[in-house]
Amino acid sequence: MTHQHINKVTSSRENILAAAQANKPAETPLPTVPDFGGDASVERFTQVLAGIGGRAVWVQRPQPLEPVLAQLFPEARRIASPLLAGAVDINAQTPTALLAEIDLAVLEGEIGVAENGAIWLPEANMLHRALPTVTQHLVLVLDHRCIVATMHQAYARLPGTGGYGAFVAGPSKTADIEQSLVIGAHGARSLVVLLY
């Protein structure tokens, strides 16, 4: 970057902040957001999840997940998961070419949201940031006691957002062609939630 460029950009910062200060209205209060309560039941969660194209399956923990997965995804060859022995080894440094071959990722979700079927998936549980979207199919494992009613309660529970984290609600989808819903746009083609 040239010096001139740096000066211009630096002065833009000052100009923008000065304009924001000069033009802002009189201060108005920041409201307190109440906890609206709501239905935090597993039934509600699974019902909404089904409505957004996901699917919930009950499992027994700590019994192994392999048999359930074999039944759900008989064709999956390359599986990435911190929860399974013998899974493909994926970490933050894994090259793109290897990530692109993953058929199935099985990851641990931390909070389920009953009102919208979303599950909080922090970076620490992802193996690689791209894994939840680059995989063809995604399975999230969730303790049913970690289901809350609304996004308010979900955010209240988050210790922080870490470096990266996402609420994942169902499989990747699009309706960009004539508003016809198509499941499996660019991210995972399906989402199964293993509840225990």
CA-closest candidate to residue 190, choices 132, 120, 121, 145: 132
How far, in Å, CA of 24 to CA of 37, rounded?
A: 35
User: What residues have CB less than 8 Å from 131, skipping those under 6 apart?
Assistant: 80, 90, 99, 102, 105, 107
Least distance (Å) between residue 92 CB and another protein: 5
Q: Which stretch binds another protein (CB under 8 A): 64-72, 79-87, 110-118, 139-147?
A: 110-118
Strands across the sheet containing 190-195: 55-58, 190-195, 137-142, 104-108, 79-80
Q: Which stretch binds another protein (CB under 8 A): 61-69, 71-79, 139-147, 171-179?
A: 171-179
| 124 belongs to the binding site for another protein (CB under 8 A) | no
| 130 belongs to the binding site for another protein (CB under 8 A) | yes
| Residue choice 3, 4, 23, 75 for contact with another protein (CB under 8 A) | 23
How far, in Å, CA of 188 to CA of 53, rounded?
A: 12
| Residue choice 3, 4, 30, 74 for contact with another protein (CB under 8 A) | 30
| 12 belongs to the binding site for another protein (CB under 8 A) | yes
| 99 belongs to the binding site for another protein (CB under 8 A) | yes
How far, in Å, CA of 186 to CA of 189, rounded?
A: 8
| Residue choice 60, 62, 96, 145 for contact with another protein (CB under 8 A) | 96
| Residue choice 55, 66, 158, 196 for contact with another protein (CB under 8 A) | 158
User: What residues have CB less than 8 Å from 148, skipping those under 6 apart?
Assistant: 40, 111, 112, 113, 114, 154, 157
Q: Which is nearer to another protein, 128 or 194 (CB)?
A: 128
| 42 belongs to the binding site for another protein (CB under 8 A) | no
Q: Which is nearer to another protein, 8 or 61 (CB)?
A: 8
Q: Which is nearer to another protein, 61 or 186 (CB)?
A: 186
Amino acid identity, residue 183? I
